Amino acid sequence: MTDFLKHHYNFSDFLYYIMLLAIPVVTAVVAVLEQSGVGAVIVFLLVAGACIPIMLRFFCTHCPHYCRDEKHLKCIFFWGLPKFFEPRPGPLSIMEKTLSVTAPALLLLYPVYWLFQTPGLLIIYLLSVIVFGATVRRNECPRCIYSDCPANIAGRYPGN
C-alpha cells in the first residue's frame, strides 16, 4: 500500500513546481510594480522575511523530508536550502496549523488590490493559483509521506 508514496524528490520535481508557482508570483509582482515600487518591495519582504521563514519553522520542520539526516532540503518547494530550524517530527499544533495557513493566505491576498486595477492580470493570477493548488493536491497529496500534514490524503484513494 505504501509503494506509491513519494519518499524522495528529484531536482526536476522542484523545478516543475517552482516554475508553476512562478506564474502567479510574477503576475502579482508585475501588477504591483506597475503601480507601486514600495508595494513590490513589500511583496518581496513578505515572501523572504515572513512567509518562507514561517512556513519553514512551523510547517516544514515537521515534514519527513525536512527531518532527514541531511544538511540541506530536497523537497518540491525548497531545494538546497540549509535547515535553519531543528527538525520536529510529529503533528502540528493548532497554532502551527493556523500560521501555516494564514501566512500563505495573506501573501496570496496582498496583491489583489493592484490586480483588480488590471483585470487581465487578475484572471491570470487567479487561474494560475487555482492550477498550482489543484496540481499539488492532485499529484502530491495522494503520494505524500507527511502523514501528519492536515492536507494529507495518501491512501484515501483505491488504486494508488
Domain boundaries along the sequence of the chain: 11-31+42-143
99-109: average pLDDT: 89
Q: Is the pLDDT of residue 108 over 70?
A: yes
Residue pLDDT, tens place only, 35-57: 999 998 988 888 888 888 999 99
The C-alpha cell at 34 is 506597475
157 pLDDT exceeds 80? no
Cα distances from 78 to residues 39, 54, 65, 100, 149, in angstroms, run 25, 13, 10, 16, 17
Q: Do residues 100 and 92 touch, judged by C-beta distance below 8 A?
A: yes
Q: What is the pLDDT of residue 114?
A: 95
pLDDT of residue 160: 45
Which SS3 state, helix, strand or coil, does residue 44 take?
A: helix
Q: Are strands 72-74 and 79-82 parallel, antiparallel or unpaired?
A: antiparallel
Q: How far apart are CA 66 and CA 149, in angstroms?
A: 13
Residues 6+ apart with CB under 8 A from 25: 47
**Residues linked to residue 74 through DSSP beta bridges, in sequence order:** 79
- Amino acid letter for position 141: C
As a whole number of angstroms, the distance between CA 68 and CA 143 comes to: 18
Supply the Cα-derived Rg of the chain in whole angstroms.
Answer: 17
Amino acid at 62: H
